[in-house]
Structures are given as structure tokens and as C-alpha cells.
Amino acid sequence: MFEKLKEKIEKKKAVVGVIGLGYVGLPLAVAFGDQGFKVLGFEINKRKVDLINSGRSDIDDIKDEQVKKLVQKGLLKATLDFTLLRNADCISICVPTPLSKTKDPDVSYILSAVNQVRKYLHPGQLVVLESTTYPGTTEELILPILEETGLKVGKDLFLSFSPERVDPANKNFTVKNTPRVVGGTTPLCTRITKLFYEQIINKVVPVSSTQSAEMVKLLENTFRSVNIGLVNEVALMCDRLKIDVWEIIQAADTKPFGFMPFYPGPGLGGHCIPIDPHYLSWKLKSLNYYARFIELAGEINSHMPEYVVERVTRILNQVKKTLKDTNILVLGVAYKRDVRDVRESPALDVIKLLQNAGAKVKYNDPHVPSILMNSYIMKSAKLTSALLKKTDCVVIVTDHSAYDYNWIVRNSKLIFDTRNATKLVKDNRGRIIKL
């Protein structure tokens, strides 16, 4: 089975199945299609299936032309029909892995995908989980389900874990030039998975097991979460000490060794950094270990939206205004610069807290035309000089590059900049206050 699948992959005859066509799955599907592989993309969302099959993309990093070209060549097809999994030789599972309200891992999407795979499993298939999860998921949950078919992993079929490393809106690192870690349930599983990803990725790094590969992803994002938590706490300290935290970081960054700059902000957003560390923390609790750094960083980062609103209140008080009935404009609601994704965005919490305090809140985001807030649709306000001039305080939450910060500052009464987006603005006339 190994040799047959190896030959199919090397000759680009293997059919690639991708379950989940979101910000991880669609770039992966396009990358394989670009290399001449026939790709089947499996989705439960009919709107997304119709969109992709019409040659369009809803992912920031994938252009419509890329999808259209592959669809027209017959190299990419999105489908709701999971029976077509029987036609796939290599299957990548790229489904969401959210947290429950109690911050426990929700692996229901993984289990749903794996149960679909099990129905149509046949000898010689490779199954790879890419969804971020806790160490042990692949072997403890997925392997037993697949072996219920009577097929033996490592002999009849192959099972691995390979964590996605997508960084939305990053123009320098794409699927192709971002190294990929792979860990199989057996050495043969690792070998065939490495070969599979080498068709589209410049460097593939094998590790000793699926657990190791799962832990790699959690370490990467826990590293970022903890360091962001540290610098957010430094920002709180600098506020009390009346020191500019941005100046401190810039100066520290001149050290050529032993320092890596992280930057404070209004909180963490996106699917990975606010969530992944809790997968590790949850797993360790089951082993009677309390992950102190993770929990502390999570506590600091999750309270940053409250700190933003507290600072806005203080800023307004200094000009003899109260937050209640004051006009506030939030600039940027996406979780990071130049994307349309609002998952876990701190801007949503900031808006909600401002509204709860009685402020009259509007937002503008060139990438996000509307958001769901408290069961109603809130639409992006048109950014005009008139809007800025009647706003009591502009709060920059997401530093999109499309904004003309010089123009915004000139037309605003007061600005609270949580991202240091206005660092190049020289004539601020005392209007700017930074985090």
C-alpha cells in the first residue's frame, strides 16, 4: 500500500481531498491544484461550495482568479457530497476546533469529519489532521475510529498529524515557503505524509510522533500568547509610571541578541492565539498539572478590552466629558490588520463594553461591512471628515494599512491609539493618546 500511494503522489495521480475550505483548507486545496493534483474540497456550507465552484474565493489570501483557473481546468471541485471521499487518496482534515464556554476543547467538528472518512475509507488512503488540538487527539480519538473498519493504520492506511501554520495577510510567508511539521502514527505514516506535503511545500520537518507534532503547534501559539501577555502587562505598568511603552519596546529592540519585540494591544483575536494555549492547559489539568504561564497570560490578555474602555473613560474625563451619551468611533473590527476575519476580535468586546457604559458607538472597517452585535446587525459607517469631527473620541483598535492616519488625526478631536498606528504622524497637536 505504501509503494502504491507513493507512486501516485510522485506522479501527481493521487486525488487530494480537503475537508473544510476555510482559511486553512482553501489555500491548501489551491496549492495542490496549482501543482497539478486533482482536488476535492468537502464542505457543509452550500453557499461556500457554490462560491468556489463559480470561481470565487471568500479567503483574503486567495484571489478569485486562482480559484477560477483551477475550477475551469477541473483541478478543483467543492462538494457537499461526502461519498466522494471514496475517490480520494490523500485526505486533509482542516475543520475548526473552538473552545466551549468553559474553555474545554470542542473536537466535535473533528469527530464529525473523521466519521465521514470512516464511512468511505479504503486501503491505501492517507488521512492527515491539520486542525489544532491537544496532544494525543490523533491516536486517542481518530485512530480507533478508522481501525473500526478492520483496516490497520501503518499497514493498510496511513494516519498523521500536521499542524497548519497559516498567517492570514502575511505576504512574505505562504503555504509554499512556510516549513511544515509532520508526525505519523508509524514511521511509514510519517514518510508518506512528508512526501505528500513536499509536493507543495519547500521544507517538511518530520517529528517522532503525532503527539510531538500536536505539541509543536501549541508551543508556537502559547509562546506568542505568553509574550503578548507579558508586554500587555508592561503596558499597564507603563501607564501607571507615565512612560511611553512604545518607546520602551523600540529601544529594547536595538539589542541584537536576547530580545524579541512583541507589542501590546486591545486584546487577542483570531482562531489560534486566544484558543490554542487553552487546549494545552486543559490537557495538563487532566494530568494534575496547572499551566500557570498560560492561565496568567490568558487572564491578562482577556482583560485588555476592559482596560481600553477604562482608558477611554479617563481620557474623556480629562476633557470634562463622560462616556455615557458620548460619540465613539471604533476604527477596525477585524482581529488583525488587513483581514476580514472578526473571530475572537477584541474590537467586538470593546464595542460591547462601550455600549454597555452608555456610549453611542459607531465603527468603520474597510474589510468588514457589517458585524453581529447583541442580536442585531451593525454596519460599518462611512469614514468622512464630518463623522470624525462630530466624534468625541476615535479608538483605533485594528491598524489597517488602508487608513490615512494623517488625515484621520487632522479631522479628529481626540484619538486613543491601541496599536501605535499613528507613530508616523508628526503634527498630532496633542490629539493622540496611546495605549
Q: Cα(196)–Cα(2) distance, rounded to whole angstroms?
A: 12
Torsion angle of C-alpha atoms 250, 418, 411, 362, degrees rounded to 10: 160
Number of H helices, E strands in the chain: 16, 15
Q: Which of 349, 242, 348, 372 is nearest to 303 (CA)?
A: 349
The alpha carbon of residue 416 and the mean position of all alpha carbons in its chain are separated, in whole angstroms, by 26
> What is the phi/psi pair of residue 175, to 5°?
-55, -40
User: What is the residue type of 19?
Assistant: I
Q: Cα(186)–Cα(209) distance, rounded to whole angstroms?
A: 8
The burial of 208, by beta-carbon neighbours within 10 Å (0-12 exposed, 13-18 middle, 19 or more buried), is given as exposed
Active site residue 90: no
Catalytic pick from 90, 238, 272, 393? 272
15: alpha, beta or left? (left if phi > 0; alpha if psi -120 to 50): beta
Please answer whether residues 357 and 309 qualify as being in contact, where contact means their C-beta atoms are separated by less than 8 angstroms: yes
In 359-403, which residue ranges form alpha helices assigned H by DSSP? 385-389
Q: Between β-strands 158-161 and 180-184, what pairing exists: parallel, antiparallel or unpaired?
A: antiparallel
Residue labelled with grid coordinates 477584541: 346
In 167-209, which residue ranges form alpha helices assigned H by DSSP? 187-198
409: alpha, beta or left? (left if phi > 0; alpha if psi -120 to 50): alpha
Q: Cα(396)–Cα(98) distance, rounded to whole angstroms?
A: 27
Q: Cα(221)–Cα(97) distance, rounded to whole angstroms?
A: 14
Return the H-helix or E-strand segment holding 204. Answer: strand 204-206
The alpha carbon of residue 318 and the mean position of all alpha carbons in its chain are separated, in whole angstroms, by 37
Instruction: Copy the grid coordinates of residue 310.
Output: 477604562
Active site residues: 272
